[in-house]
Chain A
Amino acid sequence: MIALTLQRMGRWALERLERLGRSNLFLLHVVPGLPGLLARPGLVVQQTFAIGVLSLPIVVVAGLFVGMVLALQLYNTMVDFGAEQSLGPVVALSLVRELGPVVTALLFAGRAGSALAAEIGLMKATEQLSSMEMMAVDPLRRIVAPRLAGGIISLPLLSAIFSAVGISGGFLVATGLLGVDSNAYWSQMRANVDLFDDLANGVIKSVVFGVVVTWIAVFEGYDAAPTSEGVARATTRTVVNSSLAVLGLDFILTALMFGDDT
Chain B
Amino acid sequence: MADGSSLVEIRGLRFAYSGRTIFDGIDIDIRRGGVTAIMGPSGTGKTTLLRLIGGQEQPASGSVRVDGMEVSRLSRRQLYELRKRMGMLFQSGALLTDLSVFDNVAFPLREHTRLPEEMIRDLVLIKLQAVGLRGARDLMPAALSGGMARRVALARAIALDPMVIMYDEPFSGQDPISMGVLVKLIREINDALGMTTIIVSHDVHETAAIADYLYLLSEGRVVEHGTPDELQRAGSRWTRQFLNGLPDGPVPFHYPAPEFGVELLEPGSSR
A interface residues (Cβ-Cβ under 8 A, vs B): 123, 126-128, 130-138, 142
Contact = CB atoms under 8 A, between A and B. Distances in A.
Contact of B88 (A123, A126, A134, A138): A134
Contact of A136 (B84, B91, B92, B156): B84
A130 B80 contact: no
Contacts of A135: 83-84, 107-108, 111, 156
Which of B91, B108, B153 has most A Cβ within 10 Å? B108
Nearest to A132: B96
Given A127-B90, A142-B111, A136 B83 contact: yes
B233 interface: no
Given A134-B88, A135-B111, A137-B108, A128 B81 contact: no
A137 B107 CA distance: 10
Contacts of B60: none
Nearest 7 interchain pairs by C-beta = A131-B94, A127-B94, A136-B83, A136-B80, A134-B88, A136-B84, A127-B90
A130 B84 contact: no
B54 interface: yes
A31 to B, nearest CB: 16
Given A133-B56, A134-B56, A126 B94 contact: yes
Contacts of B83: 133-136
B111 A128 contact: no
B88 A131 contact: yes
Given A135-B107, A142-B111, A130 B56 contact: yes
A52 B175 CA distance: 43
Interface string B57-83: 000000000000000000000001101
Contacts of A123: 97
15 contacts: A126-B97, A128-B95, A130-B56, A130-B90, A131-B88, A131-B94, A133-B56, A134-B54, A135-B108, A136-B81, A136-B84, A136-B108, A137-B111, A137-B112, A142-B111
B80 A128 contact: no
B86 interface: yes
Contacts of B84: 135-136
A128 B156 CA distance: 13
